[in-house]
Amino acid sequence: MQLMAIQCNVTEDDQVTGMARVVDELLMKYDATLFTLVNNARIADPGDFAFFCGTNMEVAKQVMEVNYFCMLHVTGQLFPLMMQTSTIQDDGMVSHPCTLKMSYVCDVSASPENSRSNTFTFAIEVWSDSLRIELKKIGIEVTKI
């Protein structure tokens, strides 16, 4: 088994679709399977909302774009390839793909001076929980780290 990392600027649609195309080509070339997707793109955005209220919405939008919407986009591009990867091994065990969502403590508990970060991390938390339920029936695991 070979582990391969592919760098991609998740804010560029053409890079995301190109990355998915490269993954598909590599899977075919090596007769391989895509078992794991690690979503770890993140922009830190600490700060107390009361002091930054309305001062820079573009930063808040960029943070939400990278930290949440890009995660959805990358997962959506690679999901069809993950659908093809459940396999039965020689010992009869079934191998299933999984998707890992990189997260941090704001996912489970709001913290002061992190109101904007708390927002997108909670969105990831809820989406990951929903995805875990939806994909369980087809054998794809969703794990938050």
Average pLDDT score over the chain: 78
Which residues, at least 6 apart from 57, have a Cβ–Cβ distance to it below 8 Å?
A: none
pLDDT digits (tens, 9 = 90+) for 3-27: 788 889 999 999 999 999 999 999 8
Q: Is residue 71 within 8 Å of residue 124, measured between CB atoms?
A: yes
Neighbouring CB atoms inside 10 A of 87's CB total 12
Torsion of CA 12, 118, 72, 24, to 10 degrees: 70
Put simply, whether the predicted model's pTM sits higher than 0.85 gets the answer: no
Q: Is the dihedral of CA 106, 110, 112, 118 positive or negative?
A: positive
Task: Decide if pLDDT at 107 tops 70.
Answer: no
Which residues, at least 6 apart from 116, have a Cβ–Cβ distance to it below 8 Å?
A: 45, 47, 49, 52, 60, 63
Query: 70-83 and 13-29 helices cross at what angle (nearest 10)?
Result: 20
- The confidence score (pLDDT) of residue 140 equals 78
- The confidence score (pLDDT) of residue 92 equals 54
- The confidence score (pLDDT) of residue 106 equals 52
Block residue for tokens 């890079």: 15
Task: Decide if pLDDT at 95 tops 70.
Answer: no
